[in-house]
Amino acid sequence: MKPEAWMIAGIAAAVLVLALILARVIFVWNERRRGVDGVNRTGRLLKRFAGIRRFQVLSGLSFPLRGKMVPVDHILIGFFGIMLVTVRSAKGAIYGGGRDKNWVRVVTKNEQEKRGTFANPIPENQEALEAVRQVLLDHKVYKVSIENYIVFANKKAVLNIERGLPVMTLPQFKKLLKRSKYSGDGDTDVEQVAKLLREAAQQRA
């Protein structure tokens, strides 16, 4: 092969590698952007809900638990108690069970299916509950109810999840917040609990 041909082949190979790298970077960026967008949409919903009720919303905090920091996307503190919300932004058909190590997502485009997996969010969500409960116990706050939910915020997410799990889409979460229990009176001191959690947490970058 002539030197010119080798040069052209080398340039073509380099261009192909760069194109693959760029495609990967764009994919990762889009995934992160969708994740941030999903967290922000859920946060805005919670803040609107909290604003007219004198509740508080804490976002982007991490709490210590068994030697590590456990992230929590959003914490809604109201007279009813505490609601912890873990946000996921995967799209497509989502399949999973409570004890599965990984969940599966299937995205159909141009009549072709693309399958992928991601870590089961249930354990992380449960750790968030344990970490927040430990903060309250450390400060001798015993009678505050804590609930935890996982919200898939992508509009194209279709959930095929084991029944009974605290997992829902964003529209289903909006409907959940309309339940009277979340707007009624309760014994939780919103300001005190919010202060304790802020002081115990670390702000995530």
Q: Across the chain, what does the average pLDDT equal?
A: 86
d(CA 175, CA 121): 21
CB burial of residue 105 (10 Å; 0-12, 13-18, 19+): buried
The stretch 162-174 carries a mean pLDDT of 96
Residue 133 sits in which domain range?
3-203
C-alpha of 150 from chain center: 7
Indicate the number of domains in the chain.
1
Q: Residue 59: pLDDT above 50? A: yes
Q: End-to-end alpha-carbon separation of the chain, Å?
A: 53
Q: Residue 57: pLDDT above 70? A: yes
- Residue whose C-alpha is closest to residue 76's, from 108, 54, 99, 106: 54
Of the two residues 189 and 14, the one the predictor is more confident about is: 189
Q: Residue 198: pLDDT above 60? A: yes
